Structure 1
Amino acid sequence: MIRIFLVDDHPIVRDGIRSLLVQEPGLEVVGTAGNGQELLDQLPDTPADLVLMDINMPVLDGYATTARLREEHPDVRVLALSMLAEEHYVGRMLEAGARGYVLKSASKDEIIHGIRQVMEGRMFLCTEIGLAMLRKVLDWNTVSVNAEPKKTELLSKREREVLQLIAEGLTNAEIAEQLFTSKRTVETHRQNLLEKTHAKNTAALVKLALADGLIK
């Protein structure tokens, strides 16, 4: 029996995933938590084999929680379960110690397959993530090794959408409402934009994007 702990700050997501997993033989959901700290507080009394871990959460996010688990509970394996598809997020979670990454849009069968693969000691990426990375590798091989890409060429489609709305003067809350996502996710995108472009602030970020013709 694989003992699974669900960690996500949205109760409706936790309930939905739980309802999928409880129907599967050999899987048992032993606990749920709304953030990483709640998980760490419960683990001593609720042993688990695998944690299905969201990334963007209050108090203690998925990156920090996964790193803590690697140090404090090395036998507990982590499978990231997120709506964030960009390789930046995948890389950070794997670097923190996750053994796999599955999108919330994945099918029930793929999520369960990911759980079993991780528990068998293998690394796992869902099909959508794996194909996206393969396409990027193939595209990269067609580009001259001497070509220096613009900083803004490193941005994902969603990051470009957020950047356009930032340039239009929208707040994080307004961007979140327009893109049907959470304010915390927008804040993460904004920070990633600054890191990828090495811009010191939002004004410099917008100036760079205008110079590259990325935004209107």
Structure 2
Amino acid sequence: MIRLILADDHAIIRDGIRALLTEDAGLEITAEANNGQELLDKLATTPCDVVLMDVNMPVMDGFGAMPHLRRDFPDVKVLVLSMLDHPNYVVRMLNAGASGYVLKNADVAEISHAIRTVASGRQYLCTEIGLNLLQQVTASGPIPDTATRKANDLSKRELEVLTLIAEGLTNAEIADKLFTSKRTIETHRQNIIEKTQAKNTAALIKFAVSEGLIE
């Protein structure tokens, strides 16, 4: 069971997230917070594996909370859930110690997958942000080789999934397109990550471009 604390200053957002995630038997929301300071107070007495945290909050925002989280609660993983998609926000939060960044328009399957990914000690970046960062990288120069394995290490189905990830589709959309389950796509995605040694979606997309899978 992965224990979560939600930190967002909008009660309607927290209620919506709670309603969506309660359908997942592997997740448990142990507390909620309106801002970064309240989050730190809750963490002092509440068991938690992953914090699902917004960036813009009153009293103490996500940037202000991160140094305290890393110092006082180093075992707690932080997954940012925000509408802010500018690369500067993403990079700042990741550099501050966040394990992942997901936009609020992501579907529940991707949010659940992101939570499990960061809870296991890996990093996660949602597809839309990965594409935005890729555009920044390609605009500034040649794409570095971030993968240690070749495309022929991937199965035909894994190549199909990788191509659709690079096109910006969510796990649910890929599942519908390939007539399979979201859980199967999550498994394929994890296999692709392990084979390519890519740490996040942006690195996967770079790999797809470098191998000529997409233009």
Name the counterpart of 2:13. Answer: 13
> What aligned pairs does 1:65-214 form with structure 2 within 5 A after superposition?
65-141=65-141
TM-score (norm 2): 0.64
Are the equivalent residues in 2 in contact too, given 1:64–1:96 (CA < 8 A)?
no
TM-score (norm 1): 0.64
Local SS of the residue matching 1:58: coil
> How far did 1:140 drift?
2.2
Name the counterpart of 2:37. Answer: 37
How many positions carry a matched residue from both structures?
A: 142
Q: Is 1:3 aligned to 2:3, yes or no?
A: yes
Structure 2 counterpart of 1:52, which letter? L
Name the counterpart of 1:50. Answer: 50
Q: Distance in 1 between matches of 2:109 and 2:85?
A: 19
Q: Distance in 1 between matches of 2:43 and 2:121?
A: 21
Local SS of the residue matching 2:60: coil
Structure 2 counterpart of 1:61, which letter? D
Unaligned runs of 5+ in 1: 143-216
What's the C-alpha RMSD, in Å, of the aligned pairs?
1.0
Mark the structure with the bigger radius of gyration. 1
> How far did 1:141 drift?
2.3
Structure having greater relative contact order (Cα 8 Å, sep ≥ 6): 2
Local SS of the residue matching 1:81: strand
Q: Distance in 2 between matches of 1:67 and 1:125?
A: 21
Local SS of the residue matching 1:113: helix
Local SS of the residue matching 1:65: helix
